[in-house]
Amino acid sequence: MIDISYAKTVTGWMAPSELEYLATLAEKSRCIAEIGSWKGRSTSVLAHHTPGIVVAIDTWRGSVEHQPELQGRPASGVFYAFRENTSRYDNIWPLLANSATAAKIISHSPLRFDMIFIDASHDYESVKADIQAWLPLLAPGGIMCGHDAFRWGVKSAVKQLIPRYRVVPNTSIWTTEVETK
């Protein structure tokens, strides 16, 4: 049963309809990578609904659009908020690294993901790099999706690299819509 009540209490930009969609994907996924976790709103819904693990990859320093909000605050503040917000779940593995470094580390392991959710930097080059780095780490039959489909950088990179994507109705989530095993 889908329950997004706790996730809605965590600070973030994910709408309830988007949390519900991620929850339905997580129910079918045993190994999830989340690229860009911020304070844990989407991470919480993924962890609550997966029977497996969520590897949460982030620098927890914010991207360009977050810098005004973080000005004058300790660099560790967002990570501490993430840990506090996700402390109720024991199936989250935080990986403090940028997307490319994390993908390189994981590529040397047998770990492959049923679901990869991209919601990090939103500029074209960053989204393109995220898709290129993480697509090889998708398990056969897995699903790659991401947030903010209508932002120019996201939309352009997804359109170029994921030709069979679609945007989930009533959300800004783009998805490959490939069924997991």
Q: Which two tokens stand for residue 140?
A: 């056969």
CATH number of domain containing 36 = 3.40.50.150
- The reply to whether 67 falls in a domain is yes
Per-residue pLDDT of the chain (181 residues; tens, 9 = 90+): 999 999 999 999 899 999 999 999 999 999 999 999 999 999 999 999 999 999 999 998 766 565 566 566 656 678 999 999 999 999 999 999 999 999 999 999 999 999 999 999 999 999 999 999 999 999 999 999 999 999 989 999 999 999 899 999 999 999 996 544 4
Residue 52 exposure: Cα atoms within 13 Å on the Cβ side? 17
The number of domains in the chain is 1
Q: Which two tokens stand for residue 52?
A: 């497996």
> How many other CB atoms sit within 10 Å of the CB of residue 160?
12
- The reply to whether 134 falls in a domain is yes
State the residue range of the domain holding 156. Answer: 7-175
- In the three-class reduction of DSSP (H, G, I as helix; E, B as strand; rest coil), residue 144 is classed as strand
- The reply to whether 1 falls in a domain is no
- Is pTM beyond 0.85? Reply is yes
- The reply to whether 79 falls in a domain is yes
- The reply to whether 2 falls in a domain is no
Residue 164 exposure: Cα atoms within 13 Å on the Cβ side? 5
- The reply to whether 125 falls in a domain is yes
- The reply to whether 141 falls in a domain is yes
- The reply to whether 181 falls in a domain is no
